[in-house]
Amino acid sequence: MGFRLLVLGFFLLTVSLNVCTCASSTIISADTNDTLIFASVIYRHGDRNINRMYPNDPYKDEIHWPDGGIGQLTKEGKRQQYRLGQYFRYKYGKLLGDKYSANKVYIQSTDTDRTIMSALANLAAVFPPTAEEVWNEDIKNWQPIPVHTVPKSLDNVLSASKNCPKYKVAYEQYLKDSPEVQRIESEYADLFSHWTEMCGANITTITDVYWLYNTLQIEQDHNKTLAHWAEEAIKPNGTMEYIATFDFKTYTDTPLLARLKSGFLLNEILEHFAQKMNSTLQPSRNIWLYSAHDITITNMLNSLSLYELHIPPYASSLHFELYKSSDDEHYIQIFYRKSDEDELSPMNIPNCGEKCTLDRFYAIYNDIIPGDFDVECSLS
C-alpha cells in the first residue's frame, strides 16, 4: 500500500491564538519511577462546517459556510487544534524532542480535508521552529511538517473505509437482529415520520437520525436560527441526541464488527508497542499521532468496552501509552481527554485495571485483533 506524503503549508498567526498555560514539558506518569517510552494518540479534528444538508435546510448553500465551505475546518477548529498541539508539546515534550525528527514522530491523517488541516494546525504548536529552523523571516512561527495519508478506498487502518465484504454483511445482520435497534425504530417511528416531514428527507434509520442531528447541532453552534421543530428536536438529553449517540455504538457492537472496524488500527498500535519494547521498531520512533474523526474514537472505545454513549468533542484525544517500570517491566495505560484538562486519569481497562501488560492486553482483546485484511474480510 503506497503512502502519499503531504507536506502542506499554511500560515498561523500565533498572536490570535490562546497561549498554553502549562508549566513545562514533562512526562506524566502514575509512578514517577516509571518512564513513558512510547505513545499513540488518536484525536478528532476541530470544529467544522456542516457536512450534509437536508432538502428543507435554509442553510444548505455554501454562502452560509465561510472558511472553505461545506465540511471544512473553521477558524475555531484551527484554534482548537493549535491548543491541542500545545498540550501534546507539554505532555510529550521529551518524546517529541526539541526539534522535529522523522525518526522520533510519525503523523498520519485520514484522507479528508478537515483532518489534514487539523493535523497541520496541531503541528504548528507541536513543532514551532527554533531560531536555526526559521526558513522564512515573514513566517517565523511556522515550519512545514509531513502528514501522511492513505486514499480512503485503500485505508483499512485509520479511516477503516476500505471495502470489507464480511463487515458489510455482519453489520446488516446486526441491524436486523439487534433488539435495541428494533426497539428504537419501532418506539420512535412517529418521531421518524415527523422529522421526515419537517426536513424533507427520509428519516428511516438510526444513522439518518444521526446525520440530521449533526447538521442541526452544528447550525445551532454556529448561531444559525433554527425552526421550532429543529430546536425541539436537538434539546439536550432528548430523544434525537440519544438515537444519534447510539448510532456510534452500532458499528462495533459485536466482537466481529469490532475486529473488522477497529481491529486493524488496534493491531498496528500494539505492534508498535511490541516493537518498541523489543528494540525492533525501525526507525525507533517515540510517538505516533493519528488525526481522525469522532467515530474513530468511539469505535475504538466501544471495541475495548470503554464507551459510554456520547459524541467525542472536537479536538478530543485518546491516548495509548507504553511505560517502562523501574524493574524493567512494561505496561500500557489508556487516557481519554475530552476537554482542556492538563492532568488525565487512566481509564480502567476491563479485566486488567489502570495498568495492563502487553501480554495481558493481547489476551483480553484477542478476539478483536485481526490478521491479514483480505483473509479477514473475505466471505469465502
Active-site amino acid positions: 45, 294
d(C-alpha 350, C-alpha 343), whole Å? 22
Q: Rounded to 5 degrees, what angle do the CA atoms 46, 253, 165 make?
A: 90
Cell of 149: 495519508
CA-wise closest residue to 223 among 78, 46, 64: 64
Q: Rounded to 5 degrees, what angle do the CA atoms 144, 147, 151 make?
A: 140
Say if residues 50 and 219 touch (Cβ distance below 8 Å). yes
CA-wise closest residue to 303 among 266, 337, 278: 266
What length does the chain have?
380
d(C-alpha 303, C-alpha 258), whole Å? 5
d(C-alpha 126, C-alpha 120), whole Å? 10
**Alpha carbon distance, N-terminus to C-terminus of the chain:** 23
Cell of 365: 482483546
